[in-house]
């Protein structure tokens, strides 16, 4: 029988797994409820709040802060600021590195599969960045961005009252998690109803 993702047993097992991965990767400033896929490369100085999700194959550079409830789909990368490239007569790989700029990803942000975030930008709370987008400048809160380079498509919420309600939730106490059930759980539940 599949374990329900709504139960206390699942939450305890999930948090134990998260703590083990966080410890193995030496992520000292990552909340114990944060999930980091084992295949992801995350700088040890990353700061991540409660219930952050870092999917498979992500690459997170140093000096990145991620707010609570934020989801990074698989293959998301925070990159850039790697080399000095404007010194004549010196190959880029020998020219040194610029000072590393901080990158801030707000709370309840969703970065789609393969999104690339250039270091030094800020992505506001509640923003959504589409799969494959390349973010080269700041993304305001509660906007949906896509493309190369990424540009605004629309606002996340149609009404200011909806945005205000969501902002109040983000500023409030930590919510009790409810996770989507696995396909196996649905199949098991459906199988019990069939003759």
Domain range list for the chain: 8-83+97-193
CB 156 within 8 A of CB 126: yes
Residues serving a catalytic function are: 83
User: What is the predicted pLDDT for the residue at 191?
Assistant: 57
Residues 35-52, mean pLDDT to the nearest whole number? 95
> CA 56, CA 69: separation in Å to the nearest integer?
17
User: Do residues 149 and 130 touch, judged by C-beta distance below 8 A?
Assistant: no
Among the four given CATH numbers 3.40.50.1980, 2.160.10.10, 3.40.190.10, 3.30.420.40, the one describing domain 8-83+97-193: 2.160.10.10
Burial of 142 per CB tally in 10 Å (0-12, 13-18, 19+) = buried
Percent of the chain at pLDDT > 70 equals: 90
Q: Is residue 181 pLDDT above 80, yes or no?
A: no
| pLDDT of residue 56 exceeding 60 | yes
Q: Output the pTM of the full model.
A: 0.85
């Amino acid at each position: 029988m599949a374990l329900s993702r709504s139960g206390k047993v699942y939450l305890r097992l999930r948090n134990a797994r998260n703590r083990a991965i966080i410890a193995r990767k030496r992520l000292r400033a990552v909340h114990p409820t944060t999930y980091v896929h084992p295949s992801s490369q995350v700088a040890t100085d990353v700061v991540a709040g409660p219930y952050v999700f870092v999917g498979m194959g992500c690459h997170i550079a140093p000096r990145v802060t991620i707010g609570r409830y934020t989801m990074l789909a698989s293959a998301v990368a925070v990159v850039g600021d790697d080399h000095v490239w404007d010194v004549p007569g010196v190959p880029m790989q020998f020219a040194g590195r610029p000072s590393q700029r901080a990158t801030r990803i707000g709370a309840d942000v969703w970065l789609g599969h393969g999104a690339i975030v250039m270091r030094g930008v800020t992505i506001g709370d509640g923003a959504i960045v589409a799969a494959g987008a390349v973010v080269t400048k700041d993304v305001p809160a509660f906007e949906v961005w896509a493309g190369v380079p990424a540009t605004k498509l629309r606002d996340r919420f149609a009404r200011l009252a909806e945005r205000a309600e969501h902002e109040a939730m983000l500023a409030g106490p930590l919510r009790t998690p409810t996770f989507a059930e696995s396909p196996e759980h649905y199949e098991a539940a459906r199988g019990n109803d069939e003759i």
